[in-house]
Structure 1
């Protein structure tokens, strides 16, 4: 995985907004996400950057539009050089292992996968 300091505007970027499966505590979810899922995701061929953003309880400084209880548990951002590299990663053996792990702790019926064009402003 390459170390980059800004998001490439011409890459292939996917944002995954995820929720844990029923019966898994937030603490269990966060531990699995960091210690099991992250190492698997980092092995995807062609991956330039992978960032995890687990949620925290809303509080002071978060603005007026947050609900008291968050509907999702984390956001993952995957950046590949291009769409072909991303497609090759998802169908690779590493991608299959990641998908198998995803099914063990993420509610895939409620996740959002959003293709985005990142823009570094500041």
Structure 2
């Protein structure tokens, strides 16, 4: 299993509350519909060091493989819906794929 992690920054002029409401609401519905999604999590950044590099959120979405994720994000109509929706709330984003190696498991439900 693979996880795509996205660091996201809100669009200029948008409050943190407006950004988070859209990201975890309408945008989440689009991501949830991607073929092959195994999990989805949104993290609202509380503090970032150094502050000048601050992101507003960290998104995590799980797939069976990098190839499955790439197919999902490229598939239509999902790709078009994502591109259009990102214009409404997203200022900047960076993503990467990671393979997790857990040393200490987080508490259940986290």
Q: TM-score range by the shorter chain?
A: 0.7 to 0.9
Question: How far has the Cα of 1:82 moved from its partner?
Answer: 1.2
Equivalences for 1:60-99 in 2 at 5 Å?
66-67=49-50, 71-92=54-75, 93-99=77-83
Question: How far has the Cα of 1:36 moved from its partner?
Answer: 0.9
Question: How far has the Cα of 1:70 moved from its partner?
Answer: 6.8
Q: Give yes or no for contact 1:17–1:113 (8 Å, CA) kept in 2.
A: yes
- Alignment RMSD: 1.9
Q: Give the equivalent residue in structure 2 for 1:119.
A: 101
TM-score normalised to the size of structure 1?
0.74
Q: How many residues align?
A: 103
Question: How far has the Cα of 1:66 moved from its partner?
Answer: 3.5
Unaligned runs of 5+ residues in structure 1 are 1-10, 59-64
Report the Cα distance in structure 2 between the residues aligned to 1:36 and 1:99, rounded to whole angstroms. 13
**Structure with greater proportional helix content:** 2
Question: How far has the Cα of 1:67 moved from its partner?
Answer: 4.4
Q: Give the equivalent residue in structure 1 for 2:42.
A: 52
Q: Give yes or no for contact 1:40–1:97 (8 Å, CA) kept in 2.
A: yes
Report the Cα distance in structure 1 between the residues aligned to 2:8 and 2:51, rounded to whole angstroms. 18
Q: What is the CA deviation profile of residues 41-80 of structure 1, one whole-angstrom value per residue up to 9, with x for unaligned ones?
A: 1111011111111123x4xxxxxx8446771100001111
2:25 to 16, 27, 35: 35
Unaligned runs of 5+ residues in structure 2 are 106-110
